[in-house]
Amino acid sequence: MNMGDSPVSDVAPLALSLSISSSLTLASATMAAIGRLLTELLGDERGERFALACTEAVNNAIIHAHGRDAEQIVSVSLQVSNNEITASIIDQGEGLALSERLAALPENPYESESEMPESGLGLWLIRRGADRVEYLRDATGNRLVLTLRLHS
């Protein structure tokens, strides 16, 4: 069932949790399925942006935190409560120091055509896809928490 831009009005309690190896191929297939769920839940445009934000967070974990070491595990969880959806992306890798980078993001992805980036748009897309982005770092790894209201 495709809900288009009309989000599900009576969202049942939803909780999803899974762990995958740090493989971009596996992440692609996993996030494709999660993306379909999110567009059903949030409508096309908001669902696409939130799914993209989650995908960027998972890819960041695989590439930057785990250095593409497929032995490492990335955990993804989604939870709906209090009229919000929260996605948590957790890794066991190197510190990403995302708080400072998130705070320093510009309003626009680039200022002129000559500055179009070949990389580095991921964090900007994470911020644009969610209402709130929180980065937590502890001894076990990184946790990025993305929150979006269910209704715009």
Partner 1 sequence: MDLTIRRVGDALVLRPELTRLDASVALTFKDRIGKVISEGEKHLVLDLARIDFVDSSGLGALVALLKRLGSDGSLALAALRPPVQRLLALTRLDRVFRIHETVEGAERSLASDRPA
Q: Which residue in the set 22, 34, 42, 55 belongs to the binding site for partner 1 (CB under 8 A)?
A: 55
Residue in the block written with tokens 């590439």: 63
Q: Which residue in the set 3, 37, 59, 86 belongs to the binding site for partner 1 (CB under 8 A)?
A: 59
Give the x-and-dash track for 80-119 against partner 1 (CB under 8 A). Answer: ----------------------------xxx--x--xxxx
- Cα separation, 75 vs 146, in Å, equals 14
What is 85-121 written as a DSSP string?
A: EEEEEEE-SS---HHHHHHT--SSS-SSGGG--SS--
Nearest-approach distance from CB 46 to partner 1, in angstroms: 11
44 binding partner 1? (CB under 8 A): yes
